[in-house]
Amino acid sequence: MFIPLLVTFLKNNWKIIAIGLAIASLMGYIGFLQVSRDHYKEKAETLQLVINQAKAREEDLRMGNAAITQKYLSVLDESNKKTDKILAMTKEKIKNDKELNSIRVSLNAIRLFNESKSDPTSPIADSEQGDDGSAEGATTFKGVSLSSVFDQVATNDAAHWKCVNQVKAWQKFWKDYEDNYNGVTNNVSP
């Protein structure tokens, strides 16, 4: 009894029901679009927040790294100034030492000394043959003063220590750089 009445009702009012269903569907679709829009709007706001945090971290890194770079450039500069000052004092002492100025060293001894300071893994270059400054059979000895040798050794040692200090400073620089990066990136909340 109920079904025939329902069929009759639907048959007589199908246009109104169809329009009602169309309106309900349209309202449902509009509601779905609003929910989707709100979802993507919220997602866009979250992404913008993440972008702003990333920009802030980037600026923090840039400022921290600039400070670290400046610090180590000044550390290297200060270290080089100290080394240069010590080198100048040492050279002055060598220059004024009468004993070092009076002692002569043969060119062969200098050649051997230079070979002892060479990289042992590289092939030894053949040195030019010539007067080695040896005293055998010579009336005048053509060597180099020991003060000149010490002066050059002091210059080379100063350059060596500048390199060592630079390597140490750069190792510390990269450690501080890494700490700065980790400090900035560990404070991130996505």
The model's pLDDT over 28-56, given as tens digits with 9 standing for 90+, comes to 999 999 999 999 999 999 999 999 988 98
Mean pLDDT of the chain, nearest integer: 86
Bridge partners, 84 (sequence order): none
pLDDT on residue 126: 56
Which pair of structure tokens corresponds to residue 125?
A: 């270059």
183 pLDDT higher than 60: yes
CB atoms within 10 A of CB 147: 21
Give the span between the Cα atoms of 161 and 167, in whole angstroms: 10
User: Which letter does DSSP use for residue 78 in this model?
Assistant: H
Q: How confident is the model at residue 180 (pLDDT cuts 50, 70, 90)?
A: confident
Alpha helices by DSSP H, listed for the chain, are 2-12, 14-96, 98-102, 107-116, 146-185
pLDDT on residue 187: 64
pLDDT on residue 124: 61
Buried b (16+ CB within 10 A) or exposed e, 36-52: eeeeeeeeeeeeeeeee
18 pLDDT higher than 80: yes
Give the span between the Cα atoms of 134 and 142, in whole angstroms: 8
Higher-pLDDT residue of 1 and 104 is: 104
pLDDT on residue 1: 73
Q: Mean pLDDT across the stretch 87-114?
A: 92
Reduce the DSSP state of residue 106 to 3 states and report it: coil
pLDDT on residue 189: 53
pLDDT, tens digit (0-9, with 9 covering 90-100), for 51-100: 998 898 888 888 888 888 898 999 899 999 999 999 999 999 999 999 99
Furthest CA-CA distance within the chain? 145
CB atoms within 10 A of CB 80: 15
Which pair of structure tokens corresponds to residue 108?
A: 């062969």
